[in-house]
Amino acid sequence: MMQDDTLRFSVIQMTPGADKGANIAQARGLIDAAVAADRPGLVSLPEVWSCLGGDRAVKTEAAEVLPAAGSGETGGDAYEFLRETARRHRIHVHGGSIGEQGGDRLYNTTLVFDPDGREIARYRKIHLFDITTPDGQGYRESATYGAGDAVVTCRIGGLTVGLSICYDMRFPELYLALRRAGADLIMVPAAFTLQTGKDHWDVLLRARAIETQCWIAAAACVGPHRDGRGETRFTYGNSLIADPWGSIVARVSDGPGFATARIDPARGAKVRRDMPVLEHRKLA
């Protein structure tokens, strides 16, 4: 799974809905297939893969009370699935994001587990998706979710991994903070809308890779789901991995699936040595 300091890494693309059990089964099948085919040491799931769509009540029911960080206590179905998957395959699992119960609010939360099933990182999405798409559809993530406030990294193999979620990608100051925290690889699990994705997805992800000189990995949802009013909405998919030069080195085709790349820290080190943009930065 690892050779020297390199890491084989798979991004998982899903078409989730509001049925948490069905979503877990879909995630399990895709991860098992990726491990069998490509033997990654790290896999990443999309944003809100455990429950996409439905109204506030549906999201609240699917959300989980998370064990205290580092406690080793038992969590909910999605939490335990991620933990069990890491143990069963002896890999690191980046859990995309799931709904976290937080009193009168939910949080859009990333969890990372090591091959022993230990939780090694937890990140709450900072920037909430309150926008209107070009076709007039409105999204108000802040009506259901609270915002996080912490910049989070963890160590996986020889890499420092920075955590972000979807809409965060539009805010380069977070990615600068992750680079300054030592990130070599930055995760961007997403449920990006079709309307915005077709114009902005590749551009934004490649820009974040170029600016930070980090590997960027974006596991995404793809296809239709039903919102709380029963209307069909579409996510863009196109899960990808980009290298520190901004070149896309792996991409998932349409529909559920996975793509795998070899993350080599030496690639980032060379780019940073030859073009030391962090040292040249003047205004931020």
Q: Is 84 a catalytic residue?
A: no
Q: Which of 125, 141, 154, 221 is catalytic?
A: 125
Q: Which of 20, 47, 214, 221 is catalytic?
A: 47
Q: How far apart are CA 157 and CA 143, in angstroms?
A: 38
Beta carbons within 10 angstroms of residue 50's beta carbon = 30
Record the tokens describing residue 16, joined without a space.
Answer: 């989730």
Q: Which of 100, 119, 141, 166 is catalytic?
A: 166
Q: Is 231 a catalytic residue?
A: no
Q: Could you give the C-alpha distances from 80 to 21, 41, 47, 76, 185, in angstroms and in order?
A: 12, 19, 17, 6, 25
Q: Is 214 a catalytic residue?
A: no
Q: Is-contact 121 156, C-beta < 8 A?
A: no
CB environment 205-233: b (16+ within 10 A), e (fewer)? bbbbbbbbbbbbbbbbbbbebbeeeeeeb
Q: How far apart are CA 271 and CA 263, in angstroms?
A: 14
Nearest to residue 261, comparing CAs of 73, 39, 106, 94?
39
Q: Is-contact 209 243, C-beta < 8 A?
A: yes
Q: How far apart are CA 123 and CA 153, in angstroms?
A: 9
Enzyme catalytic residues: 47, 125, 166
